[in-house]
Amino acid sequence: VTGLAEAAHFAQGHGLDLAQFVSAIDAGPLASDVSRVKGAKLLANDFAPQAAITNVLENVRLIAAAAREAGIASPLTDVCHALYGETKALGLGGADMAAVIRAIEERTAKS
């Protein structure tokens, strides 16, 4: 979902119509039930929770901790954890995990 949100943000930043982007993702080999559901939420700016940021943040924290305990590198998990934490800090802890796009937008605004 974080990758989908980043890709949507990238597409919008390059002037692509978000509806066309979501349609292209849904028509290709990257399509999945998750991409269809979360892509629609991104398109509609609908962050009503299905998987709330606070819950996802805790789950990702547990996964990262298990990886560290086993001596397994988890760089993507670590980045996702940071972004979900930033999303929660924006006051979006109760929002759906697709709201991670707001943290990505915030990073863009600060760069």
* pTM of the predicted structure, to 2 decimals: 0.92
Q: Which residues pair with 96 in a beta bridge?
A: 52
What is the per-residue pLDDT for 42? 97
What is the per-residue pLDDT for 30? 85
Contact 17, 59 (CB under 8 A): no
How many other CB atoms are found less than 10 A from the CB of residue 15? 6
79-102 pLDDT, tens digit each: 999 999 999 999 999 999 999 999
Tokens read off for 101:
């796009």
Contact 89, 106 (CB under 8 A): no
Spell out the domains of the chain, with CATH numbers in brackets: 2-110 (1.10.1040.10)
Name residues of the chain where pLDDT drops below 70: none
